[in-house]
Chain A
């Protein structure tokens, strides 16, 4: 790191990556804007049923029977294992309390699939009323907003605003990227994914904060160095920690992806991507943005004087 060539290299590399980050972010926003999300049952309301059938039965056999029975286009998705299907359709039953009515309007899946001559096992089913879906969506939005605001408040309290904005931009970058992935692949965006996005908020900051902590330390300790140099030194000093922690977290999330089964798949993928971009953005854009905003050791001088009377 004392080699000037290396630092020059690093600075260039950092700027390059920042440019890539910004490009990716613009792309991500476009993708979200164009494709939108495949909102899950939690947010839209409706019915999801997971069933187990004979492995030989194909979706083309299921589809017409289901469409006729529920009088709509039923989404049939093959689940993690052969013979398992996830059916999704809008709620036709008014989820009413009147038992007699509910009994009549409830289409019995066993009867619907009777022509296939197979044993139908209902593994799980969820019915969410439309108003609940809307409420959950609102709550999710509020949660995201509140978490962001709290983090913003904490960051501006702990760090100078230029340094904080770097971490914040990196954070937005990660969240947007993960969201774009879900928009692009049209994987279902449900409550668990929302939880993952919120967890990414926390973890992405983790990396940024640790580097920012170092930058602050160096700014105070070596005020004569150029800001580029300080940033590079901070990155180098924390690099092995960044790699080890991201590595172990990626490994455990990877384990969750492999072993966790269907219900946790989306969650693990979201976390996996979030941790990858989180590491990337905290090194690149997270440190470069404060530089562009003109962070200098001066900004931490005033604090030193007030700290040590």
Chain B
């Protein structure tokens, strides 16, 4: 060790290392800067909104209503109105909606308050979590069970049909609680026939022989997972488009775990309004109406409670609906105009062609949760209409109630349909004042902690203290820069706590090194040599100590949820950056200043 260190140049870092250090520091500084400026609340007016006012006129008009406008940018027909006060965002949106033709094109957003040259470099402020910004958060649970059930029921129907067509006598199909089918068959020939049919038409089902010539049929594991993924994906899509209707650019719709969806709506203060849009799960289906008393039919009640017999499988599910709009038709009756996709149009056209003059029922299903937390479905017939002519991919249904109810239904249908019940299992609202307060408190604590630590280090390690302090400051700069750069990184209140902790712990790296240097000086080495061996002998200890904390940070990140993940993120990143600045950056500094210091009786 000693011999080796004499051979190489003592305490020397090559130029490229300094270059790496300086470049990364500058980049991180630029990346961290926009956060300092923060963000302003803004309202975005899309190009199709039909805003006719010029920016100056717009400003005057808003100012007349008591709104202070910071700036108005107009580019490519889009207008961005940046506000001085965050709490006027909703007010401005309401004011604007009367000035444009398409209020849907108005969205609440945030605009970086950093100077434009910084923004042009592509640097963005750190994304703030809901606990710092205020807003509403929902956790939705997608119940997959009904999807499996629908699949199983459809199979029961086609098996029955198959049995009938093949004239197999004495066969019966039974569907049990776990959506498993038990098929009792008279002989092995019949079983072979069913197996053949299943193999050809339903390869996703698992068959196993039971006693006698019976068969047990269930969905294979892979198919269940596939169905679940598809269902959650579909619901995610539905939620996204519904959220779009709310007009919040920063909204987050994310899958969480197997069958959960997390929705974060920053800036929203009234959860009830958001709930009305994302909350209700409605789906529409069109059924063939059967004669009352029909065997192969299911019974649904209409709004007055009258039973109506309809086919078990719908002619068309709501997932084929592309667009639905409410309007007032002839005689002032509310109606919902529906557009179908191509496949849906074909199906509808085929069905209606052979059923002209016959009634078709439209069912409206809603999923809710009862007191025991179990999902329940209420399905009712909202209209039974006689098919007047062959329907295409555009048609309308009447009887959706008042115009407002028709509008509500159209909104829900427009967002598509959901085949699985979705329930809210968690809801959190953070008021905007509390969010601002959390930021102020968190950063006050960070400032105080940082100040004390800097002061302490400067006093305790007089000669080397400034090195530790520069390392600590650059550590914070890099940490903030990284938080702004890493996609998906969100700063939460526990995240700020993590930052504060990092400040306290980051100096540990330097303390360990300095103590080692002290030891080596006591042993009578020169300052330069003590620095070299001090850094070397402290490294494994630093690594060991940080590694265990890293383990907890990783565990926390992978298992925790929103705010806790924020803590794990700043904790883990803080460890990495403190190793970088504590070992690499402070060594670079010390090498420059004390690297050639051969004096022996130095006090650190």
Q: Report A's interface with B, CB cutoff 8 A.
A: 50, 94-99, 101-103, 106, 121-132, 136, 139-140, 142-143, 146-147, 150-151, 154-155, 158, 191-192, 194-195, 198-199, 201-203, 205-206, 209-210, 213, 237-238, 240-241, 244-245, 247-256, 258-261, 263-264, 267-268, 271
Contact = CB atoms under 8 A, between A and B. Distances in A.
Given A132-B426, A191-B564, A241-B511, A255 B371 contact: no
Interface of B: 131, 139, 141, 271-272, 275-276, 279-281, 366-371, 373, 378, 421-431, 433-434, 437-438, 441-442, 444-446, 448-450, 452-453, 456-457, 460, 493-494, 496-497, 500-501, 503-505, 507-508, 511-512, 515, 519, 540-541, 544-545, 547-553, 555-556, 559-561, 563-564, 567-568, 571
Contact of A154 (B427, B446, B497, B547): B547
23 contacts: A96-B424, A98-B366, A122-B431, A130-B373, A139-B559, A143-B560, A147-B551, A150-B551, A150-B555, A154-B547, A191-B563, A191-B564, A206-B545, A209-B545, A210-B545, A240-B515, A245-B507, A247-B456, A249-B504, A252-B449, A253-B501, A261-B438, A271-B501
A251 B453 contact: yes
A271 B489 CA distance: 24
Contacts of B131: 263
B426 A127 contact: yes
Contacts of B141: 129, 131
B426 A128 contact: yes
A96 B460 CA distance: 60
Contact of A248 (B279, B456, B571): B456
A251 B456 contact: yes
A248 B504 contact: yes
B280 A192 contact: no
Given A136-B561, A255-B500, A256-B497, A99 B279 contact: yes
- 3 smallest CB-CB distances across A and B, nearest first, come from A202-B549, A252-B449, A249-B504
Contacts of B519: 237
B280 A245 contact: no
Given A202-B553, A209-B541, A124 B430 contact: yes
A146 to B, nearest CB: 5
A94 B373 CA distance: 7
Chain A interface, DSSP helix/strand/loop, else mixed: helix
Nearest to B551: A150
B512 A241 contact: yes
A205 B368 contact: no
Contact of B424 (A97, A202, A209, A237): A97
Contacts, number: 250
Contacts of A195: 494, 556, 560, 564, 567-568
Contact of A256 (B276, B280, B500): B500
A297 B177 CA distance: 66
Given A142-B559, A195-B568, 8 more contacts: A98-B279, A126-B427, A146-B555, A192-B494, A241-B508, A251-B452, A252-B452, A252-B501
A106 to B, nearest CB: 8
Contacts of B508: 206, 241, 245, 248-249
B202 to A, nearest CB: 32
Contact of A129 (B426, B512, B571): B426
A154 B551 contact: yes
B445 A264 contact: yes
A261 B450 CA distance: 17
A206 B552 CA distance: 12
Contact of A146 (B545, B559, B563): B559
A255 B271 CA distance: 34
Given A123-B431, A132-B139, A258 B448 contact: yes
Contacts of A143: 555-556, 559-560
Nearest to A98: B368
A167 B547 CA distance: 14
Given A95-B424, A251-B453, A259 B555 contact: no
Nearest to B372: A94
Contacts of A205: 545, 548-549
B369 to A, nearest CB: 4
A129 B141 CA distance: 10
A252 B548 contact: no
A15 B555 CA distance: 34
A203 B549 contact: yes
Given A97-B369, A251-B456, A199 B441 contact: no
Nearest to B502: A252
Nearest to B552: A202
B567 to A, nearest CB: 5
A132 B425 contact: yes
A213 to B, nearest CB: 5
A244 B564 CA distance: 28
Interface centre among A94, A103, A154, A267, by most chain B C-beta atoms within 10 angstroms, is A94
A14 B477 CA distance: 41
B428 A127 contact: yes
A124 to B, nearest CB: 5
A95 B423 contact: yes
Most chain B Cβ neighbours within 10 Å, of A129, A130, A198, A250: A198
A240 to B, nearest CB: 6
A206 B555 CA distance: 17
A293 B428 CA distance: 51
